[in-house]
Structure 1
Amino acid sequence: VDALDIPLGPEIGQCCGGRTLLRFTRVTEAVSAALTERMREVEDRQPAVFIFGAGHVGKALANSLSLLPLSVSVIETRREELIGLPDNVSTHLAAMPEAMVSDIPAGAAAIIVTHDHALDFLIAKEALGRNDLAYVGMIGSRTKRATFANWLSREGHGGTLDNLVLPIGGTVVKDKRPAVIAALVTAEVLHAVHRFAVQCPARSGSAPL
């Protein structure tokens, strides 16, 4: 049988109707190689997410985002915090994480959740210096946002914070448990990378989700 045309109805436990057509191809070496290459191309085009910090929130984010069609990387200054992350998450030990911002591909997301406010500020400054990232978010509060703005001003940074999401995860849900924050931020990131890929396809190396 090369194909099956199946009506979707009560006889197979469906109630919405419609039809589905299934086509079958014998798996030869050539077909297997072509499928493997296609899957590799899909993986290469997945939107990238860089998480700076692998504390409680960083780990929760890595766990949440690793379940999705995303290329996830975690950058940390503390070696021990990189232990136990999902196998499909890339880990990077870096003495100066802010220097890795230039390695982030266009259309990617940068999530800043380190253990040090000063380090957060350094990373965010570098990220906001680019105009080709889909999402730049930092954990914190409105007070931290104001403090960061003042710090940028003293540093002579002439830009605005319009492209910075701070606090990440929004302000409607007040629950601060890492898993809840991760769920909220995951939704923000998915929306942002999809919107960027659709609006700026020439600048994004990823396909819309």
Structure 2
Amino acid sequence: MDKIIIQISSGRGPAECCRVVAKVQELVLKEARRAGINITVIDNKPADIKGTLLSATLTAEGNNLESFARQWQGTIRWIATSPYRKMHKRRNWFAGISIFDVQQQMQWNDRDVRFETCRASGPGGQHVNKVETAVRGIHQPSGIQVLAMDGRSQIMNKKLCLQRLKAKVLAWQTEQLVAQQQHQWQEHNVLERGNAVRTIKEDLL
């Protein structure tokens, strides 16, 4: 795996489960950084109580992602007394973690790109170039466009344009995947509470 998306959800559980989501996110961030994995929080959906989250979405890039994902993917069982309901007898709270490989989900084909050439204006008061060296790349399925004009030749600008356009389209596709996954979590009423992939016994404060 080169890049993965990690989603942590309370599965519409009570406030304690939303607190578990926030605590699990802290642990995931800490362990990923300790393992040399570049991890970023993309989105947090806050719950009603401060310090609680309905869901958290992160991206991770680096080596040994498959091993890291295996440690977290599934149901997390958190054993603690409720910090919100002091007399409540329940001590088992759950959060779910879903992980998928971004590269397997992405779709890119160079043939989907249409190129247009145009004249590039130079910096300062220079005259407009007589040769059409600037290149605009259009990703036809999404309509995303990129203009490259900093290269010295049309060939160089075409190469730069393709690189930048691919990065921009993949970023857009990642956003689409995240939105789709978040929608699935919003529809997820009950977490699988069978064999937890990890059990944590720690205060939820």
**TM-score, structure 2 normalization:** 0.29
Larger RCO: 1 or 2 (CA < 8 Å, sep 6+): 2
Question: Where is the helix percentage greater, Structure 1 or Structure 2?
Answer: 1
Which of these two proteins has the greater Rg computed from alpha carbons? Answer: 2
